[in-house]
Amino acid sequence: MSQTLPSLSWREIEPALRRAGFVYAPKRGKGSHRAYTRVDAVGIRRLAIVPMGKDVPRGTMHSILQQAGMTSDEFLRYL
């Protein structure tokens, strides 16, 4: 059963993505966004773009998780 995602800032999202194996990709993010990449178990390169706002809206957070190929439960384990 999927849990509700809390409202998080990019500074809270970044460590969770790093624990999940993502690496900061400074040349991919533009302006007020940061990019993180990883190659998943199937060999697909994943790119997650995170806005550097105070609080990331839940809908945006769902989009980030979709880009990352993660479920909300999986992400919450890395928080």
Reported as a single tens digit per residue, the pLDDT across 26-60 is 887 778 899 999 998 889 999 999 999 789 988 89
Domain ranges (residues) in the chain: 10-78
The whole-model pTM stands at 0.86
Rounded to whole angstroms, how far apart are CA atoms 50 and 9?
10
Other CB atoms within a 10 A radius of the CB of residue 15 amount to 11
Which element (helix H / strand E) includes 10?
helix 10-19
Reported as a single tens digit per residue, the pLDDT across 55-68 is 998 889 999 999 99
Number of helices (H) and strands (E), helices first, in the chain? Answer: 3, 3
Assign domain 10-78 to its CATH superfamily: Hypothetical protein. (3.30.920.30)
Scored b (16 or more CB within 10 A) or e, 57-73 reads eeeebeebbeebebeee
